[in-house]
Amino acid sequence: MTQNRRTFFKKGLGGALALGAAPLLNAMPDPVKVKLPVQKNPFVIGMAGYTFVNFDLDTTLKTMQRLDVRHLCIKDFHLPLNSNEEQIKAFHEKCASFNVAGYAVGPIYMRSEADVDNAFEYAKRVGVKLIVAVPNYELLPYVDKKVKAYDFRIAIHLHGPDIKTYPDATDVWENTKNLDPRMGMCLDIGHNLRNGCDPVADLIKYHSRVFDIHIKDVTDSTKAGRSIEFGRGLIDFPAFVKALRQVNYTGSCSLEYEKDMKDPFIGIAEAIGYFRAVCDYI
Protein backbone atom coordinates (compact mmCIF):
# COMPACT_ATOMS: atom_id res chain seq x y z
CA MET A 1 0.00 0.00 0.00
CA THR A 2 1.39 3.42 -0.94
CA GLN A 3 1.70 6.34 1.51
CA ASN A 4 -1.16 8.15 -0.24
CA ARG A 5 -3.42 5.11 0.17
CA ARG A 6 -2.49 4.79 3.87
CA THR A 7 -3.26 8.46 4.42
CA PHE A 8 -6.58 8.09 2.59
CA PHE A 9 -7.66 5.16 4.73
CA LYS A 10 -6.60 6.86 7.97
CA LYS A 11 -8.56 9.98 7.10
CA GLY A 12 -11.57 7.93 6.04
CA LEU A 13 -11.55 5.97 9.27
CA GLY A 14 -11.22 9.14 11.36
CA GLY A 15 -14.10 10.76 9.55
CA ALA A 16 -16.32 7.73 10.03
CA LEU A 17 -15.63 7.68 13.77
CA ALA A 18 -16.34 11.40 14.01
CA LEU A 19 -19.71 10.81 12.38
CA GLY A 20 -20.57 8.06 14.84
CA ALA A 21 -20.22 5.26 12.33
CA ALA A 22 -19.10 2.59 14.80
CA PRO A 23 -21.98 0.22 13.89
CA LEU A 24 -20.87 0.36 10.28
CA LEU A 25 -17.28 -0.48 11.23
CA ASN A 26 -18.43 -3.38 13.38
CA ALA A 27 -20.26 -4.79 10.36
CA MET A 28 -17.13 -4.79 8.18
CA PRO A 29 -15.65 -8.21 7.37
CA ASP A 30 -12.42 -9.37 9.01
CA PRO A 31 -9.26 -8.33 7.18
CA VAL A 32 -7.98 -10.83 4.63
CA LYS A 33 -5.31 -13.00 6.26
CA VAL A 34 -1.97 -13.19 4.54
CA LYS A 35 -1.19 -16.74 3.38
CA LEU A 36 2.22 -17.67 4.73
CA PRO A 37 4.65 -20.02 2.95
CA VAL A 38 3.89 -23.66 3.62
CA GLN A 39 7.53 -24.80 3.76
CA LYS A 40 6.71 -28.45 3.08
CA ASN A 41 9.10 -29.17 0.25
CA PRO A 42 11.35 -32.22 0.64
CA PHE A 43 13.27 -31.33 -2.54
CA VAL A 44 15.86 -28.63 -3.24
CA ILE A 45 16.15 -26.09 -6.04
CA GLY A 46 19.26 -26.43 -8.16
CA MET A 47 20.78 -25.38 -11.44
CA ALA A 48 21.57 -27.49 -14.48
CA GLY A 49 25.01 -26.51 -15.67
CA TYR A 50 23.87 -26.47 -19.30
CA THR A 51 21.95 -23.27 -18.57
CA PHE A 52 25.35 -21.52 -18.62
CA VAL A 53 26.81 -23.15 -21.71
CA ASN A 54 27.84 -19.70 -23.00
CA PHE A 55 29.37 -18.50 -19.74
CA ASP A 56 32.35 -19.30 -17.56
CA LEU A 57 32.24 -20.77 -14.08
CA ASP A 58 32.63 -17.42 -12.33
CA THR A 59 29.54 -16.04 -14.06
CA THR A 60 27.63 -19.21 -13.25
CA LEU A 61 28.52 -19.11 -9.56
CA LYS A 62 27.91 -15.38 -9.18
CA THR A 63 24.46 -15.79 -10.70
CA MET A 64 23.64 -18.72 -8.45
CA GLN A 65 24.88 -16.83 -5.40
CA ARG A 66 22.64 -13.86 -6.17
CA LEU A 67 19.68 -16.22 -6.57
CA ASP A 68 20.58 -18.20 -3.43
CA VAL A 69 20.66 -21.43 -5.45
CA ARG A 70 23.24 -23.75 -3.97
CA HIS A 71 23.12 -27.02 -5.92
CA LEU A 72 24.83 -27.37 -9.30
CA CYS A 73 24.78 -30.22 -11.79
CA ILE A 74 28.32 -29.96 -13.17
CA LYS A 75 28.85 -29.79 -16.92
CA ASP A 76 32.12 -30.72 -18.55
CA PHE A 77 32.63 -27.28 -20.11
CA HIS A 78 33.11 -26.02 -16.54
CA LEU A 79 35.03 -29.07 -15.31
CA PRO A 80 36.44 -31.17 -18.19
CA LEU A 81 36.10 -34.96 -18.12
CA ASN A 82 39.90 -35.34 -18.02
CA SER A 83 40.30 -33.05 -15.00
CA ASN A 84 42.86 -34.23 -12.49
CA GLU A 85 42.51 -34.21 -8.71
CA GLU A 86 44.22 -30.81 -8.34
CA GLN A 87 41.86 -29.21 -10.87
CA ILE A 88 38.85 -30.80 -9.23
CA LYS A 89 39.94 -29.56 -5.81
CA ALA A 90 40.30 -26.03 -7.16
CA PHE A 91 36.85 -26.29 -8.76
CA HIS A 92 35.21 -27.35 -5.49
CA GLU A 93 37.00 -24.62 -3.57
CA LYS A 94 35.77 -21.99 -5.98
CA CYS A 95 32.21 -23.33 -5.77
CA ALA A 96 32.38 -23.33 -1.97
CA SER A 97 33.49 -19.69 -1.97
CA PHE A 98 30.09 -18.90 -3.55
CA ASN A 99 28.25 -21.28 -1.21
CA VAL A 100 27.56 -23.68 -4.09
CA ALA A 101 28.15 -27.43 -4.20
CA GLY A 102 28.09 -29.85 -7.12
CA TYR A 103 25.57 -32.62 -6.55
CA ALA A 104 25.94 -34.51 -9.86
CA VAL A 105 27.76 -34.48 -13.19
CA GLY A 106 26.27 -34.38 -16.66
CA PRO A 107 24.54 -34.86 -18.90
CA ILE A 108 27.30 -37.07 -20.27
CA TYR A 109 26.76 -38.87 -23.57
CA MET A 110 27.94 -42.48 -23.62
CA ARG A 111 28.46 -43.97 -27.07
CA SER A 112 31.01 -46.64 -26.17
CA GLU A 113 32.15 -48.68 -23.19
CA ALA A 114 35.15 -46.37 -22.95
CA ASP A 115 32.77 -43.42 -22.56
CA VAL A 116 31.01 -45.26 -19.74
CA ASP A 117 34.32 -46.06 -18.02
CA ASN A 118 35.47 -42.45 -18.29
CA ALA A 119 32.18 -41.09 -16.93
CA PHE A 120 32.26 -43.29 -13.84
CA GLU A 121 35.89 -42.50 -13.11
CA TYR A 122 35.21 -38.79 -13.61
CA ALA A 123 32.30 -38.87 -11.16
CA LYS A 124 34.46 -40.76 -8.66
CA ARG A 125 37.21 -38.12 -8.88
CA VAL A 126 34.67 -35.30 -8.61
CA GLY A 127 33.19 -36.95 -5.53
CA VAL A 128 29.54 -37.31 -6.60
CA LYS A 129 27.44 -40.46 -6.80
CA LEU A 130 24.90 -39.31 -9.39
CA ILE A 131 25.62 -39.21 -13.12
CA VAL A 132 23.12 -37.60 -15.47
CA ALA A 133 23.74 -39.55 -18.65
CA VAL A 134 22.59 -40.42 -22.14
CA PRO A 135 23.95 -43.90 -22.86
CA ASN A 136 23.24 -45.68 -26.12
CA TYR A 137 20.59 -48.34 -25.60
CA GLU A 138 22.97 -51.19 -26.30
CA LEU A 139 25.26 -49.96 -23.50
CA LEU A 140 22.64 -50.24 -20.76
CA PRO A 141 23.75 -53.73 -19.58
CA TYR A 142 27.31 -52.43 -19.29
CA VAL A 143 26.17 -49.30 -17.43
CA ASP A 144 24.18 -51.57 -15.12
CA LYS A 145 27.37 -53.47 -14.23
CA LYS A 146 29.16 -50.21 -13.51
CA VAL A 147 26.34 -49.03 -11.25
CA LYS A 148 26.70 -52.21 -9.20
CA ALA A 149 30.47 -51.90 -9.03
CA TYR A 150 30.59 -48.20 -8.07
CA ASP A 151 27.32 -47.92 -6.13
CA PHE A 152 26.44 -44.83 -8.19
CA ARG A 153 23.06 -43.82 -9.56
CA ILE A 154 22.43 -43.08 -13.23
CA ALA A 155 19.78 -40.53 -14.18
CA ILE A 156 19.10 -40.91 -17.90
CA HIS A 157 18.23 -37.55 -19.40
CA LEU A 158 15.23 -37.61 -21.72
CA HIS A 159 15.15 -35.24 -24.68
CA GLY A 160 11.63 -35.20 -26.07
CA PRO A 161 11.12 -35.55 -29.81
CA ASP A 162 14.47 -33.96 -30.70
CA ILE A 163 16.49 -37.19 -30.62
CA LYS A 164 15.45 -40.83 -30.92
CA THR A 165 17.07 -42.06 -27.71
CA TYR A 166 14.98 -41.59 -24.57
CA PRO A 167 12.26 -39.24 -25.87
CA ASP A 168 10.18 -39.38 -22.69
CA ALA A 169 9.84 -40.82 -19.19
CA THR A 170 8.04 -43.95 -20.35
CA ASP A 171 10.89 -44.83 -22.68
CA VAL A 172 13.46 -44.48 -19.90
CA TRP A 173 11.27 -46.56 -17.57
CA GLU A 174 10.78 -49.35 -20.09
CA ASN A 175 14.52 -49.56 -20.69
CA THR A 176 15.57 -49.51 -17.04
CA LYS A 177 12.76 -51.17 -15.04
CA ASN A 178 14.41 -54.59 -15.16
CA LEU A 179 17.87 -53.25 -14.37
CA ASP A 180 19.44 -52.27 -11.06
CA PRO A 181 17.14 -49.90 -9.11
CA ARG A 182 19.94 -47.32 -9.18
CA MET A 183 19.27 -46.99 -12.93
CA GLY A 184 16.69 -44.26 -13.40
CA MET A 185 15.95 -40.94 -15.04
CA CYS A 186 16.49 -37.24 -15.09
CA LEU A 187 12.91 -36.14 -15.70
CA ASP A 188 13.07 -33.11 -17.98
CA ILE A 189 9.50 -31.89 -17.62
CA GLY A 190 9.62 -29.62 -20.66
CA HIS A 191 10.94 -32.23 -23.07
CA ASN A 192 8.57 -34.82 -21.62
CA LEU A 193 5.63 -32.54 -22.38
CA ARG A 194 6.98 -31.79 -25.86
CA ASN A 195 6.72 -35.51 -26.59
CA GLY A 196 3.01 -35.41 -25.77
CA CYS A 197 3.38 -36.78 -22.23
CA ASP A 198 2.12 -35.51 -18.88
CA PRO A 199 5.06 -34.71 -16.55
CA VAL A 200 2.83 -34.68 -13.46
CA ALA A 201 1.35 -38.11 -14.17
CA ASP A 202 4.75 -39.49 -15.16
CA LEU A 203 6.41 -38.23 -11.98
CA ILE A 204 3.79 -40.03 -9.92
CA LYS A 205 3.93 -43.18 -12.04
CA TYR A 206 7.72 -43.50 -12.26
CA HIS A 207 8.83 -41.68 -9.10
CA SER A 208 10.86 -44.63 -7.79
CA ARG A 209 13.26 -44.13 -10.71
CA VAL A 210 13.30 -40.31 -10.80
CA PHE A 211 16.71 -39.28 -9.44
CA ASP A 212 16.99 -35.78 -10.90
CA ILE A 213 14.58 -33.27 -12.44
CA HIS A 214 15.17 -30.50 -14.96
CA ILE A 215 12.50 -27.82 -14.67
CA LYS A 216 11.52 -25.59 -17.57
CA ASP A 217 8.38 -24.27 -19.22
CA VAL A 218 7.47 -24.78 -22.87
CA THR A 219 4.93 -23.34 -25.27
CA ASP A 220 3.47 -26.51 -26.77
CA SER A 221 3.09 -30.25 -26.19
CA THR A 222 4.65 -31.06 -29.56
CA LYS A 223 8.08 -30.79 -31.15
CA ALA A 224 7.16 -27.20 -32.02
CA GLY A 225 7.19 -26.32 -28.32
CA ARG A 226 9.93 -23.93 -27.32
CA SER A 227 11.34 -22.78 -24.02
CA ILE A 228 9.53 -19.87 -22.39
CA GLU A 229 9.56 -17.99 -19.10
CA PHE A 230 7.96 -19.92 -16.23
CA GLY A 231 4.21 -19.46 -15.94
CA ARG A 232 3.83 -18.45 -19.58
CA GLY A 233 3.81 -21.95 -21.04
CA LEU A 234 1.87 -25.19 -20.57
CA ILE A 235 3.58 -26.71 -17.54
CA ASP A 236 1.20 -26.91 -14.58
CA PHE A 237 3.70 -26.00 -11.89
CA PRO A 238 1.27 -26.00 -8.93
CA ALA A 239 0.16 -29.53 -9.82
CA PHE A 240 3.77 -30.57 -10.34
CA VAL A 241 4.90 -29.26 -6.94
CA LYS A 242 1.99 -31.05 -5.27
CA ALA A 243 3.07 -34.25 -7.00
CA LEU A 244 6.65 -33.76 -5.79
CA ARG A 245 5.35 -33.65 -2.24
CA GLN A 246 2.99 -36.57 -2.82
CA VAL A 247 5.82 -38.88 -3.87
CA ASN A 248 8.25 -37.35 -1.34
CA TYR A 249 10.83 -36.50 -3.98
CA THR A 250 14.01 -35.54 -2.13
CA GLY A 251 16.32 -34.78 -5.04
CA SER A 252 17.04 -31.58 -6.92
CA CYS A 253 14.68 -29.64 -9.18
CA SER A 254 17.30 -27.96 -11.34
CA LEU A 255 16.51 -25.11 -13.66
CA GLU A 256 17.60 -25.75 -17.23
CA TYR A 257 16.78 -22.45 -18.87
CA GLU A 258 17.01 -22.64 -22.65
CA LYS A 259 15.53 -19.35 -23.84
CA ASP A 260 17.86 -16.46 -24.80
CA MET A 261 20.84 -18.57 -23.80
CA LYS A 262 23.30 -15.84 -24.72
CA ASP A 263 21.51 -13.42 -22.38
CA PRO A 264 19.45 -15.59 -20.02
CA PHE A 265 19.83 -13.77 -16.72
CA ILE A 266 16.48 -12.00 -16.45
CA GLY A 267 14.70 -15.17 -17.50
CA ILE A 268 16.66 -17.24 -14.99
CA ALA A 269 15.74 -14.87 -12.17
CA GLU A 270 12.08 -14.87 -13.24
CA ALA A 271 12.01 -18.68 -13.40
CA ILE A 272 13.58 -19.18 -9.97
CA GLY A 273 11.30 -16.56 -8.43
CA TYR A 274 8.19 -18.07 -9.99
CA PHE A 275 9.07 -21.62 -8.96
CA ARG A 276 9.86 -20.56 -5.40
CA ALA A 277 6.58 -18.70 -5.16
CA VAL A 278 4.66 -21.76 -6.30
CA CYS A 279 6.55 -23.93 -3.81
CA ASP A 280 5.87 -21.52 -0.95
CA TYR A 281 2.24 -20.66 -1.47
CA ILE A 282 0.36 -23.72 -2.67
Q: What is the mean pLDDT of the chain?
A: 90
**Domain match, 8 and 45 both:** no
pLDDT for the residue numbered 282: 87
**Domain match, 29 and 77 both:** no
**Domain match, 203 and 230 both:** yes
* Closest to 133 (Cα-Cα) out of 115, 153, 113, 157: 157
Instruction: Give the tens place of pLDDT for each residue, 238-249.
Output: 999 999 999 999
**Domain match, 233 and 246 both:** yes
pLDDT for the residue numbered 12: 39
Instruction: Give the tens place of pLDDT for each residue, 75-106.
Output: 999 999 999 999 999 999 999 999 999 999 99
Percent of the chain with pLDDT over 90: 85
**Domain match, 64 and 177 both:** yes
**Domain match, 6 and 101 both:** no
Number of domains in the chain: 2
**Domain match, 77 and 112 both:** yes
**Domain match, 25 and 134 both:** no
pLDDT for the residue numbered 253: 98
- Domain hosting 16: range is 1-33
pLDDT for the residue numbered 37: 57
Distances (CA, A) of 43 to 29, 193, 243, 279: 38, 21, 12, 10
CATH code, domain with 163: 3.20.20.150
The pLDDT of 127-155, averaged and rounded, is: 98
**Domain match, 80 and 172 both:** yes
Count CB-CB contacts under 10 A for residue 98. 18
